[in-house]
Amino acid sequence: MSTIAENIAKVGARIREAAQASGRDSSQVGLLAVSKTKPAAAIREAHAAGLCDFGENYLQEALEKQAELSDLPLVWHFIGPIQSNKTRPIAEHFAWVHSVDRLKIAQRLSEQRPAGLPPLNICLQVNVSLEPSKSGCLPEELPALAQAVAQLPNIRLRGLMAIPEPTEDVARQHAAFAQLRQLRDDLNLGLDSLSMGMSDDLEAAIGEGATWVRIGSALFGARSYANT
């Protein structure tokens, strides 16, 4: 069994190799550690080994871990589906939200962002694989959504996020990530972020311009319950 520190070193090496292979500087690729279902102690261990950005999908679970880890200077990212009655604690307790897919959610996050905090960093989630059950706005809805979100006062629109349909076909992985990058570039809003790539496809995502890879199981081991 490998330790979290060993896993971080392995993932770091994968990121550096993928960046080098596509002529990018690995400092442009942020490692977002996805700690859902994992205990606060695992996050503490990952922080001691050098990580500071952590992604959580479930609000209640995230708030409990944040309270336990309040002595550490961690940067919290919300990456899960958002119900509109849960926006206030998200606006109050996170630095980034990667999973905004409709205007109402963005408006509420902007209204509810506390005055003393910097603007909330937002990525719009896009359904690039066109799976009907998946979250994310449709590619054709994106331009109007992005224009409207970019006007909101207390959030800062940074880029796009996607969770493409899993596939071992590397060419298809590249195609989905390239589509997200193209959508971002076509918006012409100067957005600097692409949140894409997970444990099994981070190389393809980095090759297509990822600025955040969201890595769970390769850092913390397999998760113990299904659908997470």
Contacting residue, 8, 19, 34, 157, with ligand PLP by CB under 6 A: 34
Q: Is 123 in the site for ligand PLP (CB under 6 A)?
A: no
Cα 146 from Cα 218, distance rounded (Å): 32
**Are the beta carbons of 193 and 11 closer than 8 angstroms?**
no
Contacting residue, 106, 199, 203, 204, with ligand PLP by CB under 6 A: 199
Q: Output helix, strand, coil percentages for the chain, rounded to the nearest 5.
A: 45, 20, 40
Contacting residue, 79, 155, 204, 210, with ligand PLP by CB under 6 A: 79
**Are the beta carbons of 204 and 173 closer than 8 angstroms?**
yes
Q: Give which of 187, 114, 127 is closest to 157, Cα–Cα.
A: 187
CB nearer ligand PLP, residue 133 or residue 188: 133
| Binding-site size, ligand PLP (CB under 6 A) | 13
Q: Which residues pair with 193 in a beta bridge?
A: 159
x/- track of binding to ligand PLP for residues 209-228 (CB under 6 A):
-----xxxxx----------
Q: Is the dihedral of CA 65, 114, 187, 16 positive or negative?
A: negative
CB nearer ligand PLP, residue 180 or residue 218: 218
Q: Is 77 in the site for ligand PLP (CB under 6 A)?
A: no
Length of the chain: 228
Q: Is 146 in the site for ligand PLP (CB under 6 A)?
A: no
CB nearer ligand PLP, residue 111 or residue 200: 200
Q: Is 198 in the site for ligand PLP (CB under 6 A)?
A: yes
Backbone angles phi, psi at 54, to 5 degrees: -130, 140
Q: Is 153 helix (H, G, I), strand (E, B) or coil?
A: coil
Q: Is 57 in the site for ligand PLP (CB under 6 A)?
A: yes
What residues line the site for ligand PLP (CB under 6 A)?
34, 36, 57, 79, 163, 198-200, 214-218
